[in-house]
């Protein structure tokens, strides 16, 4: 039931409002000061507050501000016997749903109440929709609308709260590290440490002492006891990056930790239990590495329990736009720029680019463009030259043979045109709107051509 709080010190107007709104079936409550109005609002019990501007204890504007801070979904209609236009404007600017001058007619009150309630209901609904959409499309701060990314988000959510070992594979720059962090921040271990180790960067002996720690004097340079990253990550997550290039000796030791959940410091025979979630990443094809004898098969099966493959950016056309806009907003804010937009040409170039460096490359391209661009739009000139040619040379990727016999132009061009459209559709995962952008034509032209060439 809709609950309205009448906050008015004047007994006469209290009574009028209670009677009028009571008849309409609203649940009512009355208070005569700012202090008394706040507890029910804070509890989220109240849908609407009718509040006199001269309310004792700070006034109606103060109550409005408090409500905005405490419970912004609660609507506020301000009432005043001496209200000026300025008061009304100020109240609306502060977020009041309406402003009524006293004396008011019953009709005026009812209209204002209905409108205010309708507005908050809409706001709530929008908020709920927006949250649902955000949850579906996002995981922490990982952007991904592509169906393969959505499936990955589902997996991550499902395994986040377990201690299962997770392997993330994919080309460099596809978001492996970001995903590992998201996995940690969604887990029950989120308040514990997230410790990152690049296993490809260190020689075996150093890596071992880095991960497992060492006892003083166990090798030259070990001047004091040192705890390793596994112990440092206790209660949290350890992220072992570039696992594919680690040495055979290290692989044996890692297998032991994963199986027994214990470590031994270098130079020490005691075993120390460790409570860590292990996430590993590699940009190598581990199956191939196993076949070539570069990666231990038993370790491969041990870390393969849950494995996530990050698709390269060129295979997720719908993400290019979502990511580009995400980075645009972020860098515009970081560099103190106002809202920025891509021109159609610039967006088409971004969509057509092959992105060998994946999301990392796109991120760099957008930051550079934000720094370079002069006005509120990002145009082709703000993008690296390599990207202009990606867009411009796309048609030339399917050239006519130089010695083709002469014939009607239209017929000669129909073949390559059809193939280009098919390529663009494939590139965009069948998304026609994006394919049209890549091709630099509008949607209706594309639909016309699809019909003409019988492409479905």
Binding stretches for ligand ADP (CB under 6 A)? 142-144, 170, 172-178, 323, 359-360, 363
Side-chain-facing half-sphere of 257: CA atoms under 13 Å: 26
Min CB(382)–ligand ADP separation in Å? 20
- The Cα–Cα gap between 155 and 279 comes to 14
Task: Work out how close the CB of 414 gets to ligand ADP at its nearest, in angstroms, rounded to a whole number.
Answer: 39
Minimum CB–partner distance for residue 177 and Mg ion (Å): 3
Residue 27 interacts with Mg ion (CB under 5 A): yes or no: no
Say if CB 14 and CB 4 are below 8 A apart.
no
Q: How far apart are CA 239 and CA 279, in angstroms?
A: 5
Grouping H, G, I as helix, E, B as strand and the rest as coil, residue 83 is coil
CB of 152 to ligand ADP, least distance (A): 9
Instruction: Give the one entry of ligand ADP, Mg ion, none that residue 174 binds, where binding means its C-beta sits below a cut-off of 5 to 8 angstroms depending on kind.
Output: ligand ADP
Is residue 361 near Mg ion by the rule CB under 5 A? no
With CB under 5 to 8 Å by kind, the binding choice for 144 among Mg ion, ligand ADP, none is: ligand ADP
Range 126-149 burial, b when 16+ CB lie within 10 A, else e: eeeeeeeeeeeebbeebbbebeeb
Nearest partner of 163 among 183, 177, 146, judged by Cα: 183
177 vs 364, which CB is nearer to Mg ion?
177
Interface with Mg ion includes 304 (CB under 5 A)? no
How many residues of this chain interact with Mg ion, rule: CB under 5 A? 2
- The listed partner (ligand ADP, Mg ion, none) that binds 360, CB under 5 to 8 Å by sort, is ligand ADP
Complete DSSP assignment for 249-278: HHHHHHHHHHHH-EE--BT----EE---EE
Q: Which residue of 177, 205, 218, 307 would you call a contact of Mg ion, by CB under 5 A? A: 177
Q: Is 198 in the site for Mg ion (CB under 5 A)?
A: no
- Whose CB is nearest to Mg ion? 177
Footprint of Mg ion on 91-120 (CB under 5 A):
none
- In whole angstroms, how close is the CB of 166 to Mg ion at the nearest point? 14
| Nearest distance, CB of residue 241 and Mg ion, angstroms | 5
Across the beta sheet with 277-282, what order do the strands follow?
Answer: 194-198, 237-241, 277-282, 166-169, 306-309
Of 177-185, 215-223, 336-344, 382-390, the window that binds Mg ion (rule: CB under 5 A) is 177-185
- Write out the DSSP string of 330-360: HHHHHTT----EE-HHHHHHHHH---TTHHH
Say if residue 103 is preceded by a cis peptide, omega within 30 of 0.
Answer: yes
Output the smallest distance, CB 284 to ligand ADP, in A. Answer: 12
The tokens of 166 are what?
A: 């997770």
Residue 143 binding: pick among ligand ADP, Mg ion, none (C-beta 5-8 Å cut-off by kind): ligand ADP
Distance, in Å, from the CA atom of 164 to the CA atom of 277, rounded to the nearest integer, reads 7
Per CB under 5 A, residues contacting Mg ion are 176-177
């Amino acid at each position: 039931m809709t609950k309205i709080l009448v906050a008015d010190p004047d007994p006469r107007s209290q009574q009028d409002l209670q009677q009028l709104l009571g008849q309409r079936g609203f649940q009512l409550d009355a208070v005569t000061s700012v202090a008394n109005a706040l507890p029910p609002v804070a509890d989220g019990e109240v849908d609407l507050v009718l509040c006199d501007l001269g309310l004792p204890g700070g006034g109606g504007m103060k109550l409005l501000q408090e409500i905005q801070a405490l419970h912004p979904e609660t609507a506020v209609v301000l009432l005043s016997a001496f209200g000026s236009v300025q008061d009304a404007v100020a109240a609306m600017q502060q977020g009041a749903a309406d402003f009524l001058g006293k004396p008011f007619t019953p009709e005026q009150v009812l209209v204002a109440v209905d409108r205010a309630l309708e507005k908050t209901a809409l706001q709530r609904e929008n908020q709920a929709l927006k949250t649902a959409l955000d949850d579906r499309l996002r995981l922490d701060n990982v952007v991904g609308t592509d169906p393969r990314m959505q499936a990955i988000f589902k997996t991550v959510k499902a395994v986040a709260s377990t201690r299962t070992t997770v392997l993330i594979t994919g080309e460099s720059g596809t978001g492996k590290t970001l995903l590992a962090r998201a996995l940690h921040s969604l887990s029950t271990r989120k308040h514990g440490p997230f410790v990152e180790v690049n296993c490809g960067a260190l020689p075996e002996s150093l890596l071992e002492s880095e991960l497992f720690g060492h006892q003083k004097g166990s090798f030259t340079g070990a001047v004091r006891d040192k705890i390793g990253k596994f112990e440092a990550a206790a209660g949290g997550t350890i992220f072992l990056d570039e696992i594919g290039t680690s040495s055979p000796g290290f692989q044996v030791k890692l297998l032991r930790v994963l199986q027994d959940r214990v470590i031994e410091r270098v130079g020490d025979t005691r075993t120390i239990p460790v409570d860590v979630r292990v996430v590993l990443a590699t940009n190598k094809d581990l199956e191939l590495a196993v076949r070539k004898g570069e990666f231990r098969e038993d370790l491969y099966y041990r870390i393969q329990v849950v494995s996530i493959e990050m698709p390269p950016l060129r295979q997720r056309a719908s993400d290019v736009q979502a990511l580009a806009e995400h980075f645009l907003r972020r860098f515009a804010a970081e560099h103190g720029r106002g809202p920025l937009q891509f021109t159609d040409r610039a967006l088409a170039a971004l969509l057509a680019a092959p992105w060998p460096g994946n999301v990392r490359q796109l991120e760099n391209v957008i930051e550079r463009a934000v720094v370079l661009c002069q006005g509120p739009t990002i145009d082709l000139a703000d993008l690296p030259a390599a990207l202009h040619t990606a867009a411009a040379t796309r048609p030339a990727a399917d050239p006519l043979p130089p010695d083709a016999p002469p014939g009607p132009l239209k017929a000669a061009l129909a073949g390559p045109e059809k193939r280009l459209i098919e390529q663009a559709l494939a590139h965009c995962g069948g998304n026609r709107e994006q394919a049209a952008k890549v091709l630099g034509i509008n949607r209706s032209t594309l639909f016309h051509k699809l019909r003409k060439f019988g492409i479905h």
